[in-house]
Amino acid sequence: GEDVEQSLFLSVREGDSSVINCTYTDSSSTYLYWYKQEPGAGLQLLTYIFSNMDMKQDQRLTVLLNKKDKHLSLRIADTQTGDSAIYFCAERERDDKIIFGKGTRLHILP
């Protein structure tokens, strides 16, 4: 089946930029998403990118999409303690199902 892969853990110093990477396999994905999950909570949609775009910026968040390599990244500028969470990469398949990666736990160092 289709797959979404991302590293499980990232540790970043407060104030630095965080870059979370993701690869996917379905070339027909229409949208790609980044979701944030804080402990014990549901999912919060952070941002998304349409498959025909290669970059999207939204305040501190920058999404880069390399469709040829099926690689997606999320950059968080000036990382704060409140950014500590699990970040899920997800793709929307042609049948509208959303497939998630395993999530990257972002840990902020003081």
Partner 1 sequence: GAVVSQHPSRVICKSGTSVKIECRSLDFQATTMFWYRQFPKKSLMLMATSNEGSKATYEQGVEKDKFLINHASLTLSTLTVTSAHPEDSSFYICSARDEGGWRGAYGYTFGSGTRLTVV
Q: Which residues sit at the interface with partner 1, rule CB under 8 A?
A: 4, 8, 31, 33, 35, 40-45, 48, 50, 88, 92, 96-103
Can you name the residues that pair with 63 across neighbouring β-strands?
56, 74
Tell me the closest approach of the beta carbon of residue 24 to partner 1, in angstroms: 13
Considering the complex, state which of residue 8 and residue 78 has its C-beta at the smaller distance from partner 1.
Answer: 8
SS3 content of the chain, % helix, strand, coil (to 5): 5, 55, 40
Here the tokens at position 16 are: 């630095």
Residue 101 burial (CB count, 10 A): 23
Considering the complex, state which of residue 11 and residue 17 has its C-beta at the smaller distance from partner 1.
Answer: 11
CB 40 within 8 Å of CB 26: no
Tell me the closest approach of the beta carbon of residue 109 to partner 1, in angstroms: 21
Considering the complex, state which of residue 12 and residue 88 has its C-beta at the smaller distance from partner 1.
Answer: 88
